[in-house]
Amino acid sequence: MKTSYYLGILAVIFANILWGLDFIAIDYMTAYLPTSAVTFFRLLFSTVFLFIVLLIKEKKFHIDKADWPRVFISGAIGVTIYTWFECLGIQRTSGSLASLILATVPIFGLLADRILYKNRITPVKAIGIIVSIIGVAMIVSGSGGEGFSGSIMGVIFMLVAAISWTSYVVLVKPLNKKYSILTLTTALLVSGTIAAIPIYLINKPSEALTCPKTVWIILAVSAVVAFALGGFCYIFGVSRLSVTKVVIFENILPIVAIVASYILFKQMLTTIQLIGGAIVLIACTAVSLSSDSKLC
């Protein structure tokens, strides 16, 4: 039980590290392609890759008819809608404000845990989440960028993205009991890909045909590493942890981003960023080690 629990934590941390590094690839790709095209093709490539792996490993792909509505809604909300609204929000707010709003995801997770799974809102969880948000605020404010500015619509879009991601975790959790991690991850990506088609088609899909080959290579690698591998690890973690303990680790994304910027672009880390990063890690550790009255 303990081994499975800690493997779940490591899987969620690893997924968030991959997604944090993936932000750099997204910045590069969106300079050549519309966000709708980047989202659609990453989903398409990752779906094809996982589908092939699934057929080789498990020889079949099966989801009960009764579960497809939940699977499709989960994929559409957690993959397509989350990604789309996140992009819309980032375009209308500063990066600092967008990061801070996404840091509120654990609050929604804590409420969902209490309402749906009857897990207690312990002082450690509540304080840990609040402290982690303060840590994220210190990290993003320490970048010396544009500050916490943005339009009302941008804030709304980012809040929708935060709620969408929490809803995704809640919707997916019961499905883990019926299907293998590989089957469920593939089904979610298939659903997300189908849901992304209309968004792609109404946003000038012809532009995707003129981008450099290097963009397609990075896009394919991003699809396999971030969407396929990252998604697999995350679903693995969801199957073994409470909602609160899964979403608290979303707040390590800014840490990954600043460390990657330091390594790749030699951007110096400020003292306040280092302190903020340490605070986030301490808060995440405290919440992960706290007890749940019930684990679903």
User: 195-238: per-residue pLDDT in tens?
Assistant: 999 988 887 666 666 778 888 999 999 999 988 999 999 999 98
Q: Coil, strand, or helix at residue 93?
A: strand
- With contact defined as beta carbons under 8 Å apart, do 270 and 37 qualify? no
Alpha-carbon span 69 to 75, nearest angstrom: 10
pLDDT averaged over every residue in the chain: 83
Sign of the alpha-carbon torsion through 43, 96, 20, 130: negative
The pLDDT of residue 150 is: 60
Residue 160 pLDDT class (50, 70, 90 cuts): confident
Stated pTM of the model:
0.80
What is the Cβ-side half-sphere exposure of residue 188, based on CA atoms within 13 angstroms? 28
